[in-house]
A and B are shown apart, each in its own frame.
Chain A
Amino acid sequence: MAINWFKYSAPSTFYALAGKLIPWFAVSAAMLFAVGLYIGFFVAPVDYQQGEFYRIIFIHVPASILSMFLYLVMAAYAALGLIFNTRLSAMMATAIAPTGALFAFISLWTGALWGKPMWGAWWVWDARLTSELILLFLYLGYMALHSSIDDPRRADRASALLAIVGSVNVPIIYFSVKWWNTLHQGSTIKFSGTSMHVAMQQAMFITLAACWLYAIAVVLARVRSIILEREHQTKWVAELSEVRT
């Protein structure tokens, strides 16, 4: 039996599905955060050179990974919307941007707090830090462009182009520490494995999963509002119990 995936790309079906999924994602995100931070602070040992300060990694690395992945997901949705003219894809892209921007900000912020005690500087203009800052500006530019155009369809198309063009920046962030001399160290998580002690690694992967689930929950919650806003004149919205009361 074939599943009709296009059924789920209809805003009415997706709205209901998202509503059912959000609590599950939210609860498991909260639980994983608690477990990850417990392991990170009480089980994982201190680092041989950075002492306690390295524990910033359990939020810094997940936030950085999420900020990059969410950008690619946003650009993919934007491209789908542009190619297939599906209503939902464009709405998803719009819903992802604020969360991606927040993760980019958290990545820069926690990075600065980590850099000060370890490197001796809050900020340096090296390729890794600068390209991550550009990522934050791309998110902000996408949101500003989208909200500056009144007609939602035209706003979708214009901002989709920005999102797609900006995705060139993501591989630059990832490979910057390889391609150029940077103060930022190389990647801890490589395609070949990680360079981390087991408990540290567990804590980081658990908080990474928690951040993923959190991002999914909050993006789904946001897209539900966007769906309602854009489809408010349709019959299925009028029939929703939360609208009729």
Chain B
Amino acid sequence: MTGLDIWMRENPLTYVWLGSYVVALLIFAVEIVLVRHKRKLTLEQIRLLREAGEED
């Protein structure tokens, strides 16, 4: 038995929280950040395009 095997049996709730829930919530957080970032980028891009269009 490795150290990890023993540790997870001694701390099952910590293992479940850190391993599954914290990872899942981090993934959700990263996804939210990426989606918001994408929106910011898209809006900036469209404004740039329109400004370039108006100058023509």
Contact = CB atoms under 8 A, between A and B. Distances in A.
Interface string B23-35: 1100110011001
Contacts, number: 76
B12 A53 contact: yes
A37 B20 CA distance: 12
A116 B24 contact: no
Interface string A213-234: 0100010011011001100100
B46 A232 contact: yes
A69 interface: no
Interface of A is mostly: helix
A interface residue count range (under 10 / 10 to 19 / 20 to 34 / 35 or more): 20 to 34
Contacts of A53: 12, 15-16
Interface residues of B, number: 27
A229 B42 contact: yes
Interface of B: 5, 8-9, 12-13, 15-16, 19-21, 23-24, 27-28, 31-32, 35-36, 38-39, 42-43, 45-47, 49-50
A55 B16 contact: yes
B27 A102 contact: yes
A175 to B, nearest CB: 26
Interface in A190-225: 214, 218, 221-222, 224-225
A222 B28 CA distance: 14
A3 B4 CA distance: 59
Contacts of A218: 31-32, 35
Contacts of A228: 42-43, 46
8 contacts: A52-B13, A55-B16, A102-B27, A114-B20, A218-B35, A224-B39, A228-B46, A243-B47
